[in-house]
Chain A
Amino acid sequence: MAREWSDLFIVDGRGSEHPRPVRASDDGERERRGGRFRRLRENLRRTRQALTAEVQATLFEELDDETWERLEEALIYADVGARTTAQVVEELEREAGAGSLTGGPQLTERLVELLADTARTGQDTIDLRAHPTVILVAGVNGTGKTTTVGKLAWHLRQELGLSVVMAAADTFRAAGIEQLEIWAHRSGATFVSRHPGADPGAVAYDAVEVGMREGADVVLIDTAGRLHTQQDLMGELAKVSRVIAKQIPDAPHETLLTVDATTGQNGLLQARLFSEAVPVTGLVLTKLDGTAKGGIALAIAQELGIPVKLIGIGERLEDLRPFEPAEFARALVAA
């Protein structure tokens, strides 16, 4: 099962000066959640199918060279990447050689464990005890930043009853501001923006100021999509982060990097270079509702120690979910 939102967020209870929104009855709630998990399972099932065939075909045979090679290909196909794949498969091979693994089911179980361990890294919760908690969202063009900010605001408002300020620091993309404004309206967040082409640092400054003045719980800052290779734009992002830190020394408390699940090995370079510009504290793995496996998240966790915190599994508001390593690992190999 996916983690609950309450497992992801650390709150101090103070946030609920704002009452929790009125909810349906418990039965209705259970039903709603049942439906949500069914949807998650369905979405993840598609992710599993391709790999299941590969892995299962492998596991009922003897553990020979071909087993390992096919296992490798299955992980490569999930975009886990050559290096992380080699490490995981070598470990399995070693354990099998030492006699601690016999037969398919055991191997599968161990594989899931190893993959989940790889995914489990660093501080994987989001601490909301600072008031306001400033969350900066960055990423390459088209990875789903604005959508993530919109949905996250909605969850913070609706699930936790927190007051949220949303800032459109994506002043570059045509209509980027309008897109976020629509989300702010949907989620009931306070919206801060300036004119297109304005300095993103200034927008962030305004947002933090509004957040402090209004006593908001969370300030969410959306930034323009940028390729990690564009030095000037990475410098601009670092500046946004610095501007925020000038107002609140520990802020941004959280810097999330959105990574598209369809991304291949370039995701590793993205994570590395974004981390050089700003202290990335977690990933949002988006678009997991397709056939892409998002294995690049494992490579990023393994090589850079950045945990995945949220996943996007669909277009609907509730399709942004907390990340759960074991479930993700199982989805990769379909236990």
Chain B
Amino acid sequence: MFETLSDKLQTALQDVRGRGTLTESDVTAAMREIRLALLEADVNFKVVREFTAAIKEKALGAEVIGKLNPGQQVVKIVSDQLTELMGGAGGDLSFSPRPPTIVVMAGLQGSGKTTATAKLARYLREQRSASVAVAACDLQRPAAVDQLVKVGKQAGADVYERGTDADPVEVAAWARDRATTEGKDVLIIDTSGRLHIDRELMDELARIKKTVKPHAVLLVVDAMTGQDAVAVAEEFGEATGFDGVVMTKLDGDARGGAALSVKAITGKPILFASTGEKLDQFERFHPDRMAQRILGMGDVMTLIEKAQDAYDEDQAVALERKLRKQQFGLDDFLDQLRQVRRLGPLQSLLGMIPGIDKQLRNVRVDEREFDRIQAIILSMTPSERRHPELINGSRRLRIARGSGTNVQAVKALIKQFEQMRKVMRQVAAGRMPDLGALMGGGGAPGAPTRLGR
């Protein structure tokens, strides 16, 4: 998400970090780089000014504590300050004790309200076991109602709509009553995109708010927004008020300075992050992790959570037993592969691992390679999968044909698998395998080695 900013801050602090003492000119030079990096990341210039001033003051007055050298201390100060600015541990949407909890989605045109509405619905269903209805009150954009009907259904929510010839305020009130009658836990109201300076539409939003008395108004903000994010947030804040922010399009390469700005200027928490076109690419926004990520420490927590979601305890136990008995076959290999893929595209996983994102960012992962491997394995008979050594020339040819690949690909896969099985035997036998060779470099995964320098 914010990789490029983290690069720049790292470059800015490279010299400082390498030295034992910190001079005023060091700090000034570093601050200049940080200022530029933040501006390039679209952080509002006023926020940048305050941010760098605060850091400079702290950096110059900082006492050398414990094992940190002065350079590391600057990194820590920047990190702490960034975390503070982003809003500490992060918030969540709280449910009303008297359902339905009503949420109104608001924002500019094209910020992604309708998609975010469906994603939030799905998220609340899955993560909070809530029954959710969504209401189509965007009657401005052609076909917006159709869109919500489609994505709302995909999200497993009931879609309340009354066509486009109605008054949005009335539709909202009607939806609230219906959600109450039908005993929904949550009602999410999608509204038209509107310009923050459009009196008439802002007034309409205020009337919706007054009529349905939502428990939360969420402002949907595009992560690619530039300096204007602050003006937008301020105007929405004044006209209707809002309680939290949903950042969208965070899967792009926008550095998302808007997130920092909006939080710093309005004080409203960023609650959710939307990170892709699929409905499940939506998660709680973690300001503390995001600040660490900005500094190049990766997003290990997100990765761990994802892994936990996709991980099947029973399968893992069975796998361990097989490993011990040395019965690990290509079937099991395929299961593992599928589990990893369930975490999401490998490309986005790589970005979350500390230390490797910079080198691997430009490596394009060919996801189709996985499909090919899968096709090859599925073209084998069950006994071939358990005992790959059975596979001779004619079997190879059959497998290659069946999977639409070639003999070389089948050969290569079996060879790789044999190597892997060898390493696994070593592990099972309690010996430390040569992981360094497997991973193409030394160092244990997970340790933020760059900061440890």
Contact = CB atoms under 8 A, between A and B. Distances in A.
A229 B251 contact: yes
A142 B222 contact: yes
Contacts of B227: 76-79, 264, 292-293
B194 to A, nearest CB: 10
A179 B144 CA distance: 8
Interface in A267-282: 267, 269-270
Interface in A166-195: 172-176, 178-179, 182-183
Nearest to B141: A179
B10 interface: no
A264 B231 contact: no
A50 B45 CA distance: 14
B177 interface: no
Interface stretch (B106-114, B394-402, B440-448): B106-114
Contacts of A73: 45
Given A175-B150, A227-B252, A262 B197 contact: no
A141 interface: yes
A200 interface: no
A172 B147 CA distance: 11
A228 B224 contact: no
B335 interface: no
Interface string A156-169: 00000000000000
B253 interface: yes
Contacts of B232: 262, 290-291
B41 interface: yes
Contacts of A81: 40
B252 A266 contact: yes
B225 interface: yes
Interface residues of B, number: 42
Contacts, number: 131
B108 A262 contact: yes
A262 B141 contact: no
Given A144-B110, A178-B142, A262 B254 contact: no
A264 B42 contact: yes
A289 interface: yes
Given A264-B225, A264-B258, A290-B195, A182 B253 contact: no
B249 interface: yes
17 contacts: A140-B252, A141-B110, A142-B110, A142-B222, A175-B147, A178-B142, A178-B143, A179-B144, A228-B252, A231-B364, A265-B41, A266-B224, A290-B195, A291-B196, A291-B231, A292-B228, A295-B226
